Amino acid sequence: MSAALVFANGELRTGPAVYRWLNAIDRPLVLAADGGAHIAAAYELRPDAIIGDMDSVAPGLLAELEEQGTQVIRYPPEKDETDLELALKEAAARGCDPIIIIGGTGGRLDQSLANVYLLALPELAGRTVRMVAAREEVMLLRPGAHTLHGSPGDTVSLLPVGGPAHGVRTDDLAFPLRGETLEFGPARGVSNEMRADSAQISLERGWLLVIHTDGKA
pLDDT tens, 33-51? 999 999 999 999 999 999 9
Give me the amino acid identity at 170: T
Same fold flag, 4-134 and 140-213:
no
120-146 pLDDT, tens digit each: 999 999 999 999 999 999 999 999 999
Write down the pLDDT at residue 91: 98
Q: What is the pLDDT of residue 197?
A: 97
- Please state the rounded mean pLDDT for residues 201-205: 98
Q: Mapping DSSP to helix (H, G, I), strand (E, B) and coil, where does residue 149 land?
A: strand
Give me the percent of the chain exceeding a pLDDT of 70: 100
Handedness of CA 120, 121, 126, 131 (dihedral sign): negative
* Domain residue spans of the chain: 4-134, 140-213
Per-residue pLDDT of 175-190, as tens digits, reads: 999 999 999 999 999 9
pLDDT value of residue 33: 98
Residue 92 reports pLDDT greater than 90: yes
- The verdict on pTM exceeding 0.85 is yes
Question: What is d(CA 84, CA 115) in angstroms, rounded to the nearest whole number?
Answer: 7
* CA-to-CA dists, residue 168 to 18, 122, 149, angstroms: 28, 22, 18
The CATH code that applies to domain 140-213 is 2.60.120.320
Give the C-alpha separation, 95 to 2, whole Å.
Answer: 7
pLDDT number for residue 80 = 92
Other Cβ atoms within 10 Å of 107 Cβ, number: 8
Residue 46, SS3? coil
pLDDT at 1 over 80: no
Average pLDDT over residues 164-177: 97
What is the sign of the dihedral through the CA atoms of 206, 159, 25 and 216?
Answer: negative
Q: For the chain, list the strands marked E by DSSP.
A: 4-7, 29-33, 49-52, 71-74, 99-102, 129-133, 136-141, 144-149, 155-171, 178-182, 192-193, 198-203, 205-213
CA distance 71 to 92: 17
Backbone φ/ψ region at 23: left (φ over 0), alpha (ψ -120 to 50), beta: alpha
pLDDT of the residue at 107: 79
From 3.50.50.60, 1.10.3720.10, 1.20.1420.30, 3.40.50.10240, which CATH number describes the 4-134 domain? 3.40.50.10240
